[in-house]
A and B are shown apart, each in its own frame.
Chain A
Amino acid sequence: MDNGTGIGARVKRKEDHRFLTGKGNYTDDINLPKQTYAYFVRSPHAHATINKIDTAAAKKMPGVVGIFTGEDIANSKLGGLICGWMIHSKDGSPMKAGPHPVLAQGKVRYVGDHVAVVIAETREQAKAAAGAVEVDYGVLPHVVDVADAMGHKAQIHDVAPDNRVFNWSIGDEAATDAAFKKAAHVTKIDLVNNRLIPNAMEPRAAIGYYDTGADHYTLYTTSQNPHVARLVISAFHGLAPEHKLRVIAPDVGGGFGSKIFIYAEEVVCVWASKYVGGRPVKWTAERTESFLADAHGRDHVTHAELATDAGGKIIGFKVHTKAAMGAYLSTFSSCVPTYLYATLLSGQYNIPAIYAEVDALYTNTAPVDAYRGAGRPEATYVVERIVETAARELKMDPAEFRRKNFVTQFPHQTPVIMCYDAGDYAAALDEAMKIADVKGFPARKAASAAKGNYRGLGYSAYIEACGIAPSAAIGSLGAGVGLWESAEVRVNPVGTVEILTGSHSHGQGHETTFAQLVSDRLGVDINNVAIVHGDTDKVQFGMGTYGSRSGAVGMTAISKALDKIEAKAKRIAAAVMESSPEDVEFKNGTFTVKGTDKKMAFGEVALSAYVAHKFNSAEIEPGLKESAFHDPSNFVFPAGVHIAEVEIDGDTGVTTVVNYTAVDDFGNVINPMIVEGQVHGGITQGIGQALAEGAVYDKVSGQLLTGSYMDYQMPRAADVPSYKLGFTCTPCPSNPLGMKGCGEAGAIASPAAVMNAVTDALAVKDVPMPATPNVVWNQLQHLKKAAE
C-alpha cells in the first residue's frame, strides 16, 4: 500500500488528538450513578503486628458508608494476592510465598501496606474517616536493605524463616569453575542496581460495581492486561466466575510494567461494592500512594566475575545476585530476577560457560516486580559493566574487546537457555561509533580537562529477549499462564474494519501502528480502522501488553487473522466475479481476476459478504470476520549498541550527558516515528536510573524517604541531550512481519552506557547509581586525596 499510511510510514498518532485535547477517557474520568469513594488506611510502620483495629469512631464520621478490615476479607473468604510464576530453588524446593491478603491480617510488612478501607459519600469524607480509624500496632524489627535481609532478625514471613524466597541457579557450575581455573585473567566487580519507582503519569485507579439484580461485577481499572486481571480475580480471589465479572481498562496513562499486576486496592473496590449495597466504589491513588504502594523495580546487589584467556576471549562468567522482592511476592515478581534476568547474562557475547545464582529475599518495603525492561536492564548492567571493566584491566579498547567476543553465527545457543535467532552486533557497533564520533573523543576530553572537567565515553552493547513468549517454554519454567495473543478482525459491510486485540495500549500507539498494518494489508484508509481493546466483554481473551510483545506477538495475531480475511474475501470475490479463487489476486485494496479486466474493491467484497446475494451460502458462510491466536515459536532478540558521553563538572560533581548515540536492531519497523519515541523515552528512563532516580528507605525508621517529587528526582527534558539514533535491521525469523520489540531497549541499554562513561571519566572502577552530584563529588574528593 503506497498511500503513506502503511508499514514503515511515519504516521502521526491517531490517538493523540483526544489525549492532547484532554478528551481521553481514563478511569478517574468515569463516574457511575450512586458512586462512593474508597480511601485506604495504610501502615505507618515497616513491620508490626496488628493488635486491634477500632473503627467505631470512624464509622460515626459524616458520610461513611462502610469500613472493612482484613477480618471482613477473611470472613467473606476472598482469596489473597498471588504470584503467578513458580520458581524452584536449586535444592528442588518451591519458592516460599507468604500470604498476601488484600487487607492485612495480623501483621503489616511495609510502610504503606493496606490495612483497612473506608468507603464514604465523598473522597474527602473517606479520607477524614480513615484518619479516625485507630490501629494498635506492635512494632517489630524491620529490614529494608536487600544486602542485610538474609537471616536478619526481622522475620517477615513465617514460611521463610531466613527471609529467603528462593535460591535459584542457572547454567553449568562445574564447567564454569573449570573455565575459571584455566583463566589468564579474572575481572571481579560488585554492583548495586538501584531501586526505582515507576511513576506512571496516571496513578492507579479503580471503580468496582456489583449489580445486585444481575449478580454481576464490573471493574474499571488501570490495567495493562484486563483479561489477566479478570482471570486472577475470578480464579484465585474467587470473587465471581469469569462470565460474572467484566474488567474494563479504558485509556491508561502509562504503566511501564507497574500496571500489569493485580493489586489489593482494585480487588477491594470490586469486592466491597457488594457490601455497600451494590453502590459503585471508586478509588484513585494519590501520588503519595503511588510512591508507597505501586510495585517498585530493580533493587539488586550483585557480585560478578568474568574469566578471560590470554588472547582476551571470554571463557567463563559467574554471577551471584541478591534480589529484593519487597514484603510480598507481587504478581510476576519471581520471574524477573530469574528467567527475565539470568537468561540474558550471555549478552551479545560468545561465552562458553556461565553460572548464576540468585537469592530472592523479602524486605520490609513495597513489593518489587517488572519495571520497563524487567530483569534485562539488570542483566545488561552486570554484563556491560564487567565487560567494560575487563577491557580496561586488560588494557584493551572496550569496543575492540567487545568485537572480539561478539556472537557472529546464528542461531546461537547460549549456556543460559536463550537461543539467539538473528543479529549483526558488529554492524551496530560500527554505526554507533561513527555517529558518536568516537575518533574525535580524545580531543573533546582534552578540551574538557582544560576547563577542569572530566569527560568519559561508555558503551553498552545490549541484548534483550522480548515478544514473550512461547507458551510451552515458559510453562516448563514455572509460568502460570501462556503468553500468546489473540486478535479478531471484523470487516463491516461498508469495508471499514474493527480490530479486537488482546494487547493493551497505554501509551504505545497501538491505535496507529495496528491500523497501519491493516491499511497495508487491506488497502483501507487508516481512518477506517478502529482498534478495540481493554474490555473483557468486547475482546474474547488476551494476555496484554508488557515485555515489548504487542508488535511481535499481538500484531502477528492480527496478521494471521488478516490472512484468513484475505482468503475468505478472495473466495467471495471469485464467486461474485464468476471465477475461481486461485485466479483472484488482491493488491492495493483491489481484487482482480488474472488475465481479465474484472475487478472489485475491498469494500464491494465486504458488502457482498454481508448481503450474500451472489454466492452459495451453503459453501461460503456470509459475513467477513476472522480471529486468530498466535503463540510465538521463540522470543525475539532486539539488540544494539549505545554510546554515552558525559562531562563531569570538576567543581560541583554534576554529570551532564553531552552526547548519546543509540543504534538499535528492532528488525522491521512499522512506524519509525513511534519507535524513535519509544527509544527516546527508554533512554531517558535509563539516564534517570543512572544519574537521578533512586528509592531510599531509611534503615532506622523503615520510612520511604523519597516519597514525593520533592525528593525523588525524575529526569526532565533539560537533563538529557538530543539523542542521535541509528538503526540496523536483521529481520526476526520467527514472525511473519520480521519485527522485534522496541519498548524497553532504551531503558535496558542506557544505565550501563552512562555509568561506563562516568567511570571512564573519573578513571575509577565503580560509582554507585544514581550518580548524583553529591555521589560524584565524593568520588572526586577520594581522587584528590589519593593524588595528594
Chain B
Amino acid sequence: MENFNYHRPASVDDAVKAAKAHPEAKYMSGGQTLIPAMKQGLAAPSDIIDLGALKNSGVSLGSSLVIKAGTTHAEVASNADVKKAIPALAGLAANIGDPHVRHKGTIGGSIANNDPAADYPSACLGLGATIHTNARKIAADDFFTGLFSTALEEGEVVTAVEFPLPKKAGYAKFPNPASRYAMIGVFVADTGSGARAAVTGAGHGVFRAKEIEGALAKGFSAASLNGVKVGTDNVAGDLHASAEYRAHLITVMAKRAVDAAK
C-alpha cells in the first residue's frame, strides 16, 4: 500500500472542500472495497477523506424509505422499518459479503463505487430509487453510468438513498462460487406503476432487463417468465461463467426473485 494523507472531516461541506483541494483524493465510507484495492496496489489515492465522522446513518420511513448514506449493511439488514417496508432490501443487505463487511460497509459507499458485481445498485435501479447528494437528487436510472462509474461529479458526496415503496419486491443472487460477489443478482419490483427488474453481476454494470420487465408487465409472477430468454448484449463471460450461462441465470434468478417477492 502506498502512503496517503488522511482526513476526517466533521461535516459534508468540509469533506467536499477537502476533496476539491486534493484532486487525487478518494472518499472512504466503510472502506471495504477501497482498502483491499489499495493493499493490492490497484488504487493509490494521494488523500483519503474518511466520511466516518459525519455520523450520517439511519433509516426513516414515511411515504418513502430513506436510508442515509453512512448506514451499514448490518443496520439495513436488521432495521425494523426496512424489514416492514421493503423486506427484499433487508434480505439483500443481510447477504452482502461477510459479517465484517456488513458491519463496516455502507450503502453510500457501495453505490458510489458501483462495482459491477455489487448488490445495492440492483436494488436502487430495481426500485427506481432517488440518490440524494450534497448538491442534488439523481434518479437511479441516471445515476449508474457503467463499470465503476456514476453520475457523481468531482467531489460530490452521496448523502442518502430514497426508495419509493413497492407493492412487492424480491432479490435473488447467484453468488460467484469463489468471491461470493453476485455472478448474477436480479432485483424485481412490482412498483404499482409497472414492473422493474435490475441485473447486477453480468459484467458491464447494473442494468434493467427489458425482456424480464416486458414479461412481468403481463403479470407479476414467475410463470410469466417461462421461456423468456435474455440476450447476451449486456453480459460478459469469464473464468466462472460464460455469457450464455450468465444470460440464462438472469431468467432463473428473476423467477426466484419474483417467487420470493413480498
Contact = CB atoms under 8 A, between A and B. Distances in A.
A772 B177 contact: yes
Contact of A709 (B178, B239, B249, B252): B178
Interface of A: 651-653, 692, 696, 705-706, 709-714, 772-774, 777-778
B178 to A, nearest CB: 4
A774 B178 contact: no
Contacts of A705: 239
Q: Closest 3 interchain pairs by CB?
A: A713-B178, A710-B179, A713-B177
B242 A711 contact: no
Contacts of B249: 652
12 contacts: A652-B174, A652-B249, A696-B239, A706-B178, A709-B179, A710-B179, A714-B178, A773-B174, A773-B241, A774-B245, A778-B242, A778-B245
B252 A652 contact: yes
B240 interface: yes
B7 interface: no
Contacts of B177: 692, 713, 772-773
A772 B252 contact: no
Interface in B165-218: 174, 177-179
Interface in B118-137: none
Given A710-B178, A713-B178, 5 more contacts: A692-B177, A709-B178, A714-B178, A773-B177, A778-B245
Contacts of B241: 773-774
A774 B183 CA distance: 11
A615 to B, nearest CB: 64
Interface of B: 174, 177-179, 239-242, 245, 248-249, 252
A193 B242 CA distance: 22
Contact of B240 (A653, A709, A711, A714): A711
A692 B176 CA distance: 11
A464 B245 CA distance: 39
Contacts of B242: 774, 778
A678 B245 CA distance: 37
Of the listed residues B239, B249, B252, the one surrounded by the most CB atoms of chain A closer than 10 A to its CB is B239
Contacts of A653: 245
Contacts of A772: 177, 240
A473 B143 CA distance: 71
A711 B179 contact: yes
A651 B179 contact: no
Contacts of A711: 178-179, 239-240
A777 B178 contact: no
Contacts of A774: 240-242, 245
Contact of A712 (B174, B178, B245): B178
Nearest to A692: B177
A674 to B, nearest CB: 29
A651 B252 contact: yes
A772 B245 CA distance: 12
Contact of A777 (B179, B239, B245): B245
Nearest to B1: A124
A462 B177 CA distance: 29
Contact of B239 (A651, A706, A714): A706
Nearest to A698: B239
Contacts of A777: 245, 248
A288 B113 CA distance: 25
A768 to B, nearest CB: 14
Contacts of B248: 777
Contacts of B245: 653, 773-774, 777-778
A703 to B, nearest CB: 12
B262 to A, nearest CB: 21
Contacts of B252: 651-652
Contacts of B239: 696, 705-706, 711
Contacts of A651: 252
Of the listed residues A652, A709, A714, the one surrounded by the most CB atoms of chain B closer than 10 A to its CB is A652
Nearest to A706: B239
A781 to B, nearest CB: 8
Nearest to A770: B177
Nearest to A694: B239
A778 B245 CA distance: 8
A711 B252 CA distance: 23
Nearest to B249: A652
Nearest to B177: A713
